[in-house]
A and B are shown apart, each in its own frame.
Chain A
Amino acid sequence: MNEPILKDVVILGGGPAGLAAALALHEQGVRDLVILEREPEAGGILRQCIHDGFGLTRFHEALTGPEYAKRFLDPVRAAGIELHTGTTVTGLTAQRLVTAVSHRGLTQYQARAVILAMGCRERAAGALPMYGARPAGVFTAGVAQAYVNLYNTMVGREIVILGSGDIGLIMARRLTLEGAHVLGVYEILPHPSGLPRNVTQCLDDFHIPLHLSHTVTKLHGAARLEAVTVCAVDEQRRPLPETAARIPCDTLILSVGLIPENELSRMAGIELDSQTGGPVVDQFLQTTVPGIFAAGNVLHVHDVADDVSAEAEFLAAQVARYLAGPLPHCPIAVTGRGCGHVVPQRLCRGEAAVLSFRPAAPRRHLVVEAVQDGQTLCRRTIPYATPAQMVHLPIPDLADGSPVEVCCYDDENPAV
């Protein structure tokens, strides 16, 4: 095998995070970089997201996924940034040796810095407690989206959707427009998982019922799905057998969560956060392996692509800084109370940072605070917050080295 190719930065993934990071690095004068993308075209999941709503924060217009991707891909091409599609990274070491496979064969890169921008994938049927056979006709929402939007293949006619994640809600509308009959969306939680705007414009507009605190417990059918059993669940999310109902359908779409894709991170010995599913990072988005950074959905699942791009640009600035010299040590641990997880997990002294997290449950009057040694560092109130909406809390530079706790609670009902 040939000697590894030396690069300042190797970016793993050419989706919204990878493209934004590459552009920002290029703008900051880092020119010796390469993007490695597994799919035949760059753009990541944006390619199949033909609905609009992308770019509202960044460009102040409602773009579709492919249009949003083009806003990054065109300048990446114009800048002459090296981009290899159809290239799968199969190896990553703690010494930042990247092994990639493509039609050209095996290529190795020795990088000074690696950016993890692999995104996430969908939780599939195998991860769910459903009895019965395993007939055809069970798809994750993203797979159904690829079939319908990219390959012109309809997935079914009588459709049940399990889970109310954004892609599931988008697909409820998409499949309805394509002539299917969406019987209903069943969500195990007492509140929708997707953004409220998607509940109104994807379900309410089309009179598609949303059944909260319900789940699918059994699949029926041999070769093809014929029906599902749905059940109401109690507060501990346990199905109540007396509520079981059989719903005839030919297709079940799953929108039950996204999992950051971190096989390569594991291979490099990067510590992962069991709550986010992504790497543990410091405030510079550097993982526990020096010189390996992460941004976008591989780090933690975001609400919208605009946030992914912004995070990747912040990361690019840190990587540029890292290439010029080591970043400050980040020994201060961050924990959360009343919120699922906090990113970053570690902070340094003397430099401001932004913490990202989600409230554990919907709050009518959310108060978020960062507390250190019993002292409130900063405080923000949000009139109406749901777990579908990530909260960002800027915190001032820290003088003290003791742990920081982020607290989320409802001002009207502090006990919750």
Chain B
Amino acid sequence: MTTKTLLCNLCPNCCALTVTLEGDTVTGCTGNLCTQGADFARQELTMPLRNVTTSVAVSGGLYPLCSVRLSAPIPLSRLTEAVDLLHGLTVTAPVAMGQVLLEDLLGLGVQVLSTRSVPALQIRRD
């Protein structure tokens, strides 16, 4: 049996978790203020998950960028790949907050969602 300490990053409480392991299996978790702590520890020790927030380029918009996040966290190991893909993406204005900008990111089954609205740039022709 081994013990590991890690910090839960699910909320600002930042619980200091002490996890006991039998081989690779989590058998106990203490220090968590809520039930999510133990699940986090199990996930973190097998395949850590993170959400990604960045911006994508907008063409024809009032602003040059549209901030985005993912509908669900993805494996930390795929994060750089995801960001590289998002940096190559250009969307067309108008963009509404919450709009799905990409349906299935890297085949991970998560959506890329807009987190701001970008109105189309109105060109005056008078």
A149: CB under 8 A from chain B?
A: yes
B97: CB under 8 A from chain A?
A: yes
Of B12, B14, B50, B83, the residue contacting A57 (CB under 8 A) is B12
Give the distance to chain A from B47, nearest Cβ to Cβ, in Å.
14
In Å, the complex CA distance between A152 and B66 comes to 10
State whether A52 and B16 are in contact (beta carbons under 8 Å apart), knowing that A64-B53, A151-B64 are contacts in the complex. no
Question: Which residues in window 10-52 of B have CB below 8 A to A?
Answer: 10-16, 31, 48, 50-52
Of B12, B51, B63, B76, the residue contacting A197 (CB under 8 A) is B12
Residues 59-76 of chain B: 1 if any A CB is under 8 Å from the residue's CB, otherwise 0? 000011101010000001
State whether A389 and B67 are in contact (beta carbons under 8 Å apart), knowing that A67-B115, A205-B50, A383-B31 are contacts in the complex. no
Give the distance to chain A from B76, nearest Cβ to Cβ, in Å.
6
Is the Cβ of A197 less than 8 Å from the Cβ of B9? yes
Give the distance to chain B from A191, nearest Cβ to Cβ, in Å.
13
Is the Cβ of B53 less than 8 Å from the Cβ of A51? yes
Query: How many interface residues does chain B have, given as a range?
Result: 20 to 34
Is the Cβ of B14 less than 8 Å from the Cβ of A70? no
In Å, the complex CA distance between A200 and B10 comes to 11
What residues on A are CB-neighbors of B52 within 8 Å? 177
In Å, the complex CA distance between A389 and B69 comes to 26
What residues on A are CB-neighbors of B115 within 8 Å? 50, 64, 66-67
What residues on A are CB-neighbors of B69 within 8 Å? 50, 52, 64
Of A66, A152, A177, A195, the residue contacting B83 (CB under 8 A) is A177
Residue from A50, A51, A151, A383 whose CB has the most chain B CB atoms within 10 Å:
A50
Is the Cβ of A205 less than 8 Å from the Cβ of B76? yes
Give the distance to chain B from A181, nearest Cβ to Cβ, in Å.
14
In Å, the complex CA distance between A151 and B62 comes to 11
Is the Cβ of B67 less than 8 Å from the Cβ of A50? yes
Is the Cβ of B55 less than 8 Å from the Cβ of A149? yes
Query: How many interface residues does chain A have, given as a range?
Result: 20 to 34
What residues on A are CB-neighbors of B54 within 8 Å? 50, 174, 177-178
Question: Which residues in window 268-298 of A have CB below 8 A to B?
Answer: none
Is the Cβ of B76 less than 8 Å from the Cβ of A66? no
Give the distance to chain B from A286, nearest Cβ to Cβ, in Å.
28
In Å, the complex CA distance between A295 and B21 comes to 46
Is the Cβ of A150 less than 8 Å from the Cβ of B63? yes
Residue of A nearest to B83 (CB): A177
Is the Cβ of B53 less than 8 Å from the Cβ of A52? yes
In Å, the complex CA distance between A62 and B55 comes to 17
Give the distance to chain B from A388, nearest Cβ to Cβ, in Å.
8
Interface pairs (25), CB distance under 8 Å: A50-B67, A50-B116, A52-B51, A52-B69, A57-B11, A57-B12, A64-B69, A66-B97, A66-B115, A66-B116, A67-B115, A149-B67, A151-B64, A177-B54, A178-B54, A195-B12, A195-B14, A196-B16, A201-B50, A205-B50, A303-B12, A304-B12, A383-B31, A384-B15, A384-B31
**Which residues of chain A have a CB within 8 Å of any CB of chain B?**
50-53, 56-57, 62, 64, 66-67, 70, 149-152, 174, 177-178, 195-197, 200-201, 205, 303-304, 383-384, 389
**Which residues of chain B have a CB within 8 Å of any CB of chain A?**
7-16, 31, 48, 50-55, 57, 63-65, 67, 69, 76, 79, 83, 97-98, 115-116
